[in-house]
Structure 1
Amino acid sequence: MYSPTTLVDGAITPDETATAYSKVTWRLIPFLFICYVCAYLDRVNVGFAKLKMMSDLGFSDAVYGLGAGVFFVGYVLFEVPSNLIMLKVGARRWIARIMITWGMVSGAMMFVNSPTSFYILRFALGVAEAGFIPAIILYLTYWFPASKCGKVTALFMTGIPMSGVIGGPVSGWIMSRMDQVQGLASWQWLFLLEAIPTVVIGFAAYFYLDDKVADAKWLTAREKSILERDLTQDQHGKKHSLRDGFTNPWVWLLSFIYLFFTMGLYGVSFWLPSIVKASGVADPLDIGLLTMIPYAFATGAMILTGRSSDAKGERRWHLALPGLAGAIGLAWSVAYADNTAVAMFALTLATMGIMSTISQFFVLPPSILTGAAAAAGLAIANSVGSISGLIAPYLLGVVKTVTASTNAGVLVLAVCLMIGSLLVFTVPARLVNRK
């Protein structure tokens, strides 16, 4: 590690600090953003495939819901081991491995022909992708102190809504135009075509990313020392050991808070196309274009919330208020489910709030943990939160099978968001606020 006292000659100006962080932001965030777009698109494009795959293969809503959710069984089981392996082998190697393997498994989804093969490949996809999000969040802490994590985490995580902005129309077009091309169903083309970029970018990650500040040839020695100075100061008072990551009670509390927020996230991610279709829109391309709207607005909401959070040094209200907005939006979408315009407005509000909670949540753990503790703690939080990926889709699938409507299930997700928002205030402000 560079020593600020030996490498920095003279006082460091605010302009120098701003330039150093600007270089890191522009070098890393656009590329990591693209990685996350691929990750999320490969994870949730099953929501679009569902529009025709279910009828082609004779799947019920319950089968779909379980298949969509079983991804998270593999994901949760291998999340912590994956992040600990990254500590040993380095970020660029492990991030590249994750992307290449999950891209290959996602493409193999085109061969699904039964509920069993659907479940097996969704489980394998979870295993392949396990550790990706906590690995990236941990990787960002190698470059940014906690006080600057709100904005950069939000910028990175705009990959979630932008996968909807990009993936909605693209997925809708594939579903509308590629059916029976070369004898393949449209949903088979969907899995194949959307997996290719992930594999390509996975190989690029190996050559593009640097494991740490010291390896960055694109930074000057002075810029490196500025970053190392801030990172060293940021470690003061945080938990460091691997054991701390597993035993710290705040980690487990944050994990369960995240569980309630992700209930809303995966409800929207997996069922938004179906909710839009139920409101009276039939053409898959039109469904794709309409799902783009909530995600586009959510992107802006995430960035503005992250900037405000860093500027004020306040974390809890910036997490709780978006959660409440998400709950109100989901409930409103149920109340006006038969009115496409009002339902879309409500779903847009819900998506803006829900997406903002996800990016803001991941600012909290690095405020408490660093090093091996952060690797374990982030993985635990994401693992517990990801259990909702199994619960939420299956819950909605069962409710729809029983009631022929998703309304009751969506209201349950709204309540979960409200509970998560209230639990945020059980975390002391002194632990997470930064100025």
Structure 2
Amino acid sequence: MPHHSSSRHIVIRAASLVLLGGASLGWPASPLHAQGAPRPAPRPRTVVIDSISVIDVDARRVTPMQNIVIRDDSIVAVQPASATLPDSIDERVPGRGLFAIPGLVDHHVHLTPGMARALERGARGGVTMVQAMAGDNRTAGEYARAAMSKEIIAPEIAYASVMAGPNFFTDPRFIGASLGYAPGKAPWAQAISSETDVALAVAAARGSGAEVLKLYAMLDSTIVATFTAEAHKQGMRVVAHGTTFPARPLQLAGAGVDVLTHAPYLSWQGAPELRPEDSWKRIEGPYAKVRADGPELLAVLTAMKAHGTYLEPTLWVFARDGVKPEVAKWGAALAVRAQAAGIPILAGTDGFVGPDSVPLPYIHRELQLLVEAGLTPAAALATATTVPARAMRRERTHGVIAAGRVADIVLLEGNPLADIRNTTRIRQVVLRGRPLPR
């Protein structure tokens, strides 16, 4: 090993510590080959949550007095409390009088350096998986690795690469997320046009670790269709803003994108003309002229249903102080219309967690807003559990409490099927089989 390699290792390790917000990672002090003979695999750790009521979200059913048996990070059994338990139990979690739901998913967050504490707050607040929707994938990748190796307490993290028209990369957010690259040249934040090598651009996005290609703005329908087809060919999912200017929602659904995000942006379907530069004012949709239950949106929802497109309304981000009330109202109305039309709804906040004065992650408020709009508590709960598991291609491992699934479980003091506000009454969270200290 050249002399400078060891110095480089130290610099990289120090940089990772800064990225994670000063978290103590517990990495080995010496290379693995210097630590002697391989150690035997540790004995599996068994946790039992006893006598709890288990909620089946899709069936809208509560089964009382169940034991959930967990081995390492997986559920191995959900059985009546009277059933025989394993001989060796490392930890028992009392569940009598409590309700168990699958860990919650926030399908729309953004990650920046120094967020280790925010990620921990999110996990302790019931969010066990997130979809990061644009940012620096060097940051997202390091968080994802540290979370899965249990070096930090954090949700499981999937992340996206973003693509937009060349003129959009003057946005300072993308400049900051691509330091070291010219604007629009980072593999995870690419400026694209009809001249772009499509297969190479998608391969670079995928090579950054992204599962999702996010189509952002200043993209026409031909580019959207071309990149969507290539992304699917390479095994990526595609999320698009509700309008990508000039491509309209109907064209995006027809192109086969997997998710349309930000419900109010779909109002632009009814605009007489769209130009790329209109993307800068995308929140200023024609809400007064285009009804969420009007014919323009009916055509969009019909296309979404036909193509299996998900809608991610992101109600919370539009319901914040300072946003025009008609924006949130229009988005909520469309969310209810879409759900009634059979469009699967995803809960995403575009915010994740707030300051310390806001104790719980914003996903709880997102679910409340969906119920206030007209969804049932069960339908709202599905938007953060079973639906994202399917959308993120994790339906065999996540989203329900059953044998063989990852042990991401939230223990509640009230039944959220009766009142969605009960998701905030958290007694304890089990994160990948690990009961987090309260």
**Which range, TM-score by smaller chain?**
under 0.3
| TM, length-normalised to structure 1 | 0.21
Bigger relative contact order (CA 8 A; separation at least 6): 1
Pair member with larger Rg? 2
| TM, length-normalised to structure 2 | 0.21
Structure with bigger helix share is: 1
Structure with bigger strand share is: 2
